[in-house]
Amino acid sequence: MSGAEKIAVTVTDIVPLNALVTRFEFKRADGGLLPTFSGGAHTVVEMEDGAITRLNPYSLMSDPMDQTAYTISVRRDDEGRGGSMFMHQSVKVGDEMTISYPVNLFSLDLRAKKHLFLAGGIGITPFLAQIKQLERFNGNWELHYACRSEALGSYVDELTSHHPNETHIYYDDQNQAIDLVNLLDGQPLGTHVYVCGPKGMIEWVRKTADGEGWPREAVHYEEFLAPQPGKPFEVKLAVSNKVIQVGEQESLLEAMEREGVDAPYLCRGGACGQCETRVIDYTGNFIHRDHWLEDDEHASGEKIMPCVSRFEGKTLVLDR
Amino acid sequence: MTKFTFPESIRSRPVYGTLEARKGAAHLLIADAHGAEAILDVATPEMMAKAHIIYIPKGEAFEGKLRALKPAQFYAGPSYEAAESRIQKAFEDAKMGLQVYLTGTEGLMGQAQHAAMQAGIPHTAIQTEHRGSVARRMQCVHCKGITEDVETDPFVCAHCGLNLFVRDHYSRRLAAYQGVCIDAEDPGNVPEAKGIYE
Ligand code: FES
């Protein structure tokens, strides 16, 4: 079986936070304790949406030491393929669901003298767990959180009331923006910066930090790429000896799973490298969307990350 | 000979590169003896305007040339120990964006790298370039004493007097290689001392 180990849970609480974001709480279905995790970890939630099974990663936002329940926050994506819609519309308190053991691809570097957190929108969630983790031993941290508007500022009240000195909020609709160059300039030696948010924000932070001479090891980022819908395509799986169709609303990885092919994965968001698959032959164009492969690997036509990337063209043969 | 190609060794043995000028808010360059040549090679006026050079000449005559680079701050001291509080202070006052360049003997680079890591710089972000003497800073595994600038193998521990064999096993924390007694089983049976890389 691919992916991290599974846990059967019950949905114990659903709290709408604002027009776009809803929080879900899970407890173990057998009443036992959940594993502890480290701040920044995510869980992969399985959604049985009619004939389709979707597995979407969400950052855990609860206290990493709290083994009684996990919480996640899901932002509704009206344009997406429906995973977040399913969570918002179909999931009810009392439902049984399956989630994965926590996997952390965005952990704190605890050697850091200071942790500088930069969040954009729903990118706030991993930091909520990291802040709880750091608060246990008085860690030195600071948060800069950009939200679209006051109405959409998830957890702003909680953060500003518990951590008034560490929290800085910026509202796009009030033309407030993080003054990044000034913020990076003058941070004490040993500071690590962490960014979670939209792609453009991550690129901006990485580029600016690099330009200011920050070591790459001190810059951490996480972007969850939800797989995007696209034109259907056909794939030949050489090892399994199958020809499968990838539908408009599913990822290549999901299509393989639907056909009973055991394909490896961990993050399902183009970040961990686990699903890397060799291309045996192709005629057409790849739509690479992952953060894992290097640009030259994308250009080579030799590899694809099936969790987020697609293909358009006549033939695609994979070593799977 | 100021550049030397070290033979392949075990993983714990540090490897050194060639300094390159990097973008940064400030530049800290720490060197001893022939390390001055690597600074002269890498220095640019732009870098020097924001540079702090800490130099331990060990009898070499590069101080004038280094001063002529016009770094924002310059210090020359007789030994690493003498320069140590200056180095500590430089790291304490430093901000993110500082670039660190270490060059000269292994002992100098090792100790300065340790100080840089303590200050929170990931070791992969610290540049090093070996120049000059291939002497090593050695720790006696028996008495734990450090002997500086060891040029021969075996050598005599400066603290306990045992005959020690020079190993490639390196401790980043101590910034020293390990020396292990060579004649423990048969006291007095000590091979003739040779250069470490002979
Ligand atoms: S599953 Fe992690 S990159 Fe595809």
The tokens describing B16, both together, are 């050194």
Angle at the Cα of A98 (from A271 to A253), degrees rounded to 5? 40
Mean pLDDT of B171-179: 92
Residue A261: predicted pLDDT: 94
Q: Which residue of A has its CA nearest to B118?
A: A190
| CB of B158 closer than 8 Å to CB of B171 | no
Identify the bridge partners of residue A22 per DSSP, sorted by sequence position.
A16, A74
Q: Which residues contact A222 (CB under 8 A, 6 or more apart)?
A: A40, A59, A105, A106, A123, A126, A194, A195, A196, A271
Chain B interface disruption, residue of A115, A189, A220, most B CBs within 10 A: A189
- Looking at the CA of residue A307, tell me the nearest atom of ligand 1: 4
Q: Is B151 left (phi over 0), alpha (psi -120 to 50) or beta?
A: alpha
- What is chain A's Cα-based Rg? 20
Distance, first Cα to last Cα, chain B: 15
Domain residue spans of chain B = 26-130, 136-195
* pLDDT bucket at B10, cuts 50 / 70 / 90: confident
Sign of the Cα pseudo-torsion (B27, B33, B35, B38, in order): positive
What's the CA gap between B96 and B144, in Å, rounded? 35
Q: Provide DSSP, A60-74.
A: --S-TT--S-EEEEE
What's the CA gap between B87 and B115, in Å, rounded? 8
At A49-67, the pLDDT tens digits run 887 888 889 999 999 999 9
| CB of A194 closer than 8 Å to CB of A185 | no
Q: Provide DSSP, A68-97.
A: S-EEEEEE--TTS-SHHHHHHHH--TT-EE
At B80-139, the pLDDT tens digits run 999 999 999 999 999 999 999 999 999 999 999 999 999 999 988 999 999 999 999 999
- Looking at the CA of residue A292, tell me the nearest atom of ligand 1: 3
CA neighbor of B148 nearest in space, from B108, B118, B88: B108
Mutate which of A223, A252, A291, A307 to test ligand 1's pocket (most atoms within 8 Å of Cβ)? A307
Q: Which residues contact A301 (CB under 8 A, 6 or more apart)?
A: A279, A282, A286
Confirm or reject CATH 3.90.380.10 for domain B26-130, answering yes or no.
no
Identify the bridge partners of residue A57 per DSSP, sorted by sequence position.
A44
| Record: contact B95-A185, CB cut-off 8 A | yes
DSSP A170: E
The minimum CA-CA distance between A52 and chain B, rounded to whole Å, is 45
CA neighbor of A141 nearest in space, from A157, A130, A156: A130
What's the CA gap between B92 and A28, in Å, rounded? 48
- Chain A residues within 8 angstroms (CB to CB) of chain B: 111-113, 184-191, 211-218
Q: Which of A111, A187, A218 sits opposite B95 (nearest CB)?
A: A187
Mean pLDDT of A11-25: 97
Backbone angles phi, psi at B193, to 5 degrees: -70, 135
Query: What average pLDDT does the structure give for chain A?
Result: 94
At A72-93, the pLDDT tens digits run 999 998 877 778 999 999 999 9
Q: Which residues contact B24 (CB under 8 A, 6 or more apart)?
A: A212, A213, B50, B97, B98, B99
At A237-289, the pLDDT tens digits run 999 999 999 999 889 999 999 999 999 999 898 989 999 999 999 999 999 99
At A159-186, the pLDDT tens digits run 999 999 999 999 999 999 999 999 999 9
Q: Which of B22, B120, B124 sits opposite A112 (nearest CB)?
A: B120
Q: Which of A185, A190, A191 sits opposite B25 (nearest CB)?
A: A185
The tokens describing B18, both together, are 């060639």
What is the residue with the minimal CA distance to atom 3 of ligand 1? A270
Q: Which residues contact B163 (CB under 8 A, 6 or more apart)?
A: B154, B155, B156, B157, B181, B182, B183, B190
At B24-55, the pLDDT tens digits run 999 999 999 999 999 999 999 999 999 999 99
* pLDDT bucket at A1, cuts 50 / 70 / 90: low
What's the CA gap between B109 and B104, in Å, rounded? 7
At A302-314, the pLDDT tens digits run 999 999 999 999 9
User: Is the pLDDT confidence value at A230 over 80?
Assistant: yes
| Residues of chain B with C-beta less than 8 angstroms from the C-beta of A186 | 95-96
| Residues of chain A with C-beta less than 8 angstroms from the C-beta of B22 | 213
Query: What average pLDDT does the structure give for chain B?
Result: 94
Q: Which residue of A has its CA nearest to B99?
A: A213
CA distances from A257 to A229, A238, A246, A317 (A): 17, 15, 11, 17
CA of A306 to the centre of ligand 1 (A): 7
Domains of chain A: 6-104 (2.40.30.10), 114-222 (3.40.50.80), 233-318 (3.10.20.30)
- Report residue A179 CA to chain centroid gap: 25
Please, what is the angle between helix B80-93 and helix B106-118, to 10°? 30
Please give all residues whose beta carbon lies within 6 A of any atom in ligand 1, as ranges.
A 265-268, 270-275, 290, 292, 305, 307
